[in-house]
Amino acid sequence: MRIKNDVEKEDYKILIVDDEQGIIDSLTIFLNKYHCTGMTNPIEAIELLKKEHFDLLILDFLMTPIHGDKVVEEIRSFNKNLYILLLTGHKDLAPPLETIKKLDIQGYCEKSDKFDQILLLIESGLKSVEQLRIIEDINEKLADAYSSLKEAYTGTIETLRLAVDAKDSYTAGHSDRVAYYSKLIGMKLNLSDEDLETLYDGALFHDIGKIGIPDSVLKKVTPLSDDEYHDIQNHPSIGVHILLPAKIFNDLIPIVNYHHERYDGKGYPAKLAGEDIPYLARIVSVADAFDAMTSDRSYRPRFTLIKALSELENGKGTQFDPDIVDAFLIVMKESRSQIERDLDIHFDMRKVDQDLYT
């Protein structure tokens, strides 16, 4: 039996673990095309595998102080991908098939004076390792391509988002502040890092659809007509239409589409109520409302901090999720000074209605 001659010795690393040094020496001779390491102590072999990379493990089953199945069980606790070929010199004492499957042992062979079958299994195993390398390389290249595509598309969307801010000087920086507040709320609610990232990005792009709303409507200082208000209500759907072609933004779409829903079901566009509203959209709704109230608009001056917090409190259970409002009130109480520094703003603290802040 011959191993492929075009495989260089340094291409693959094989670890041979057997309590018979003669078996290790014989296999090492037959496998001289590869870089082989032999060990007679299975405990030391486990520790070596924690420190070094090997492509294939040839493992004896009956050893001391632990058998091969226990060795594999320990290895699988920290290495799921290592290709393992299990050998036994005692057929009657071999592990059951269920154990071999459970431990994801890829190959099994009985020892004999002839190494043909073992070498065939080793060659087959290394072919599998080679295929895995190819797959990993392809996945890495795809990941790089995906990252580049996402970066390019994100840059395009970011340009649109900044264009929205540029349409109206009164709302400049609004999306950045909403994203900032949303993340603070999410952290207070102990969201996962993945959800926090989705929340932040969704908040950044929540108003992207306003790029399709006429300036005459966005900047109007007098009350909107029914048709104009209908135009405003279309901006979530426009935002979804912008993001939908790129699957990389699928997780942001519920935020963009539903951040104007109300907890009592009287919002838009779908009139969702309560917990039917996506959770992250409910968070952005509170952050969005707060920043709108504490910013100057073409049709009214900004609210004081106390009045804005009072409005959030009054909207619990009707416009807003009560738990999210409570979390934001705590955030403002604990971190107002830091928020003012981070955003380079100063909240008007004049007392209006009740003093919720203190």
Closest alpha carbon to 309 in 263, 262, 274, 350: 350
Average pLDDT, the chain: 85
Indicate whether 118 and 198 sit together in one domain: no
Q: Among residues of the chain, what percentage have pLDDT more than 90?
A: 44
Indicate whether 120 and 240 sit together in one domain: no
pTM (whole model) above 0.85: no
Choosing from 210, 219, 271, 351, the catalytic residue is 210
Indicate whether 269 and 310 sit together in one domain: yes
Indicate whether 275 and 132 sit together in one domain: no
Q: Is residue 236 part of a domain?
A: yes
Indicate whether 30 and 81 sit together in one domain: yes
More confident residue, 354 or 104: 104
Last residue of a domain, one of 120, 138, 156: 138
Q: What is the CATH number of the domain that holds 92?
A: 3.40.50.2300
Indicate whether 215 and 320 sit together in one domain: yes
- Distance (Å, whole) CA 196 – CA 184: 9
- Distance (Å, whole) CA 85 – CA 70: 14
Per-residue confidence (pLDDT) for residue 168, from 0 to 100: 63
Last residue of a domain, one of 117, 138, 159: 138
Q: Is residue 155 part of a domain?
A: no
Per DSSP bridges, beta strands 83-88 and 107-110 are: parallel
Indicate whether 227 and 310 sit together in one domain: yes
Strands (E), the chain: 13-17, 35-39, 56-60, 83-88, 107-110
Long-range CB pairs of 319-323 (<8 Å, 24+ gap) are 319/262, 319/263, 319/264, 319/267, 319/285, 319/289, 320/262, 320/263, 320/282, 320/285, 320/286, 320/289, 321/263, 321/277, 321/282, 321/285, 321/286, 322/263, 323/189
Last residue of a domain, one of 116, 138, 160: 138
Indicate whether 274 and 334 sit together in one domain: yes
Q: Is residue 148 part of a domain?
A: no
pLDDT at 5 over 60: no
Q: What is the CATH number of the domain that holds 226?
A: 1.10.3210.10
Indicate whether 128 and 173 sit together in one domain: no
Indicate whether 268 and 331 sit together in one domain: yes
Range of the domain at 243: 168-343
Query: For the chain, how many structural domains are there in total?
Result: 2
Write out pLDDT tens, residues 230-284.
888 999 999 999 888 878 889 999 999 999 999 999 999 999 999 999 999 999 9
Stretch among 30-39, 195-204, 209-218 having the lowest mean pLDDT:
209-218
Q: Are 10 and 35 in contact (CB under 8 A)?
A: yes
Catalytic site residue 210?
Answer: yes
Indicate whether 96 and 245 sit together in one domain: no
Closest alpha carbon to 31 in 11, 46, 45, 60: 11
Q: Is residue 349 part of a domain?
A: no
